Amino acid sequence: MKKLLMVLSVAAASLSAQAETRDIQGIYNRTCIACHASGAAGAPKTADAVAWKPRLEKGMDTLVKNAKNGIGAMPPKGLCMDCTDAEFKGLIEYMSKAK
Ligand code: HEC
């Protein structure tokens, strides 16, 4: 019985950890992925640390602002109309991290 409880609590913990990552990843998969997976129209590619380096050097606040306003061929908010600043930050961190 004790063992079963332990298994259950471990399962619950990993479920909630997944929910957190799925959130940002879910948004990414619905929106940003369309351009940032392939680098369409010159978009810095996801997990391409070299492409993201000069972007990150502008500072996170600028990147969030540019993502919200749109930049070059990127439409405002990257088509995620209900994304919050915190979510943009999470998405940028997600995309700019080398895998
Ligand atoms: C329709 C295609 C498209 C979609 C969808 C898109 N992007 Fe982009 N994104 C681009 C392009 C193209 C650029 C390069 C713009 C430039 O520098 O000329 C870019 C650049 C960026 C930059 C760098 C801005 C800078 O100041 O250098 C950030 C941050 C960014 N995108 C975030 C996102 C996020 C977050 C999403 C999803 C919510 C998203 N993008 C969805 C096309 C897209």
What residue spans define the domains of the chain? Answer: 2-96
pLDDT < 50 regions, the chain: 15, 19-21
| pLDDT recorded at residue 12 | 56
Q: Ligand 1 centre from 17 Cα, in Å? A: 27
CB of residue 91 inside a 6 A radius of ligand 1? yes
Domain 2-96: CATH superfamily is: Cytochrome c-like domain (1.10.760.10)
The string of pLDDT tens digits covering residues 79-94 is: 999 999 999 999 999 9
CB of residue 54 inside a 6 A radius of ligand 1? no
Q: Ligand 1 centre from 9 Cα, in Å? A: 39
Using CA atoms, how far apart are residues 51 and 30, in angstroms rounded to an integer?
A: 22
| pLDDT recorded at residue 21 | 46
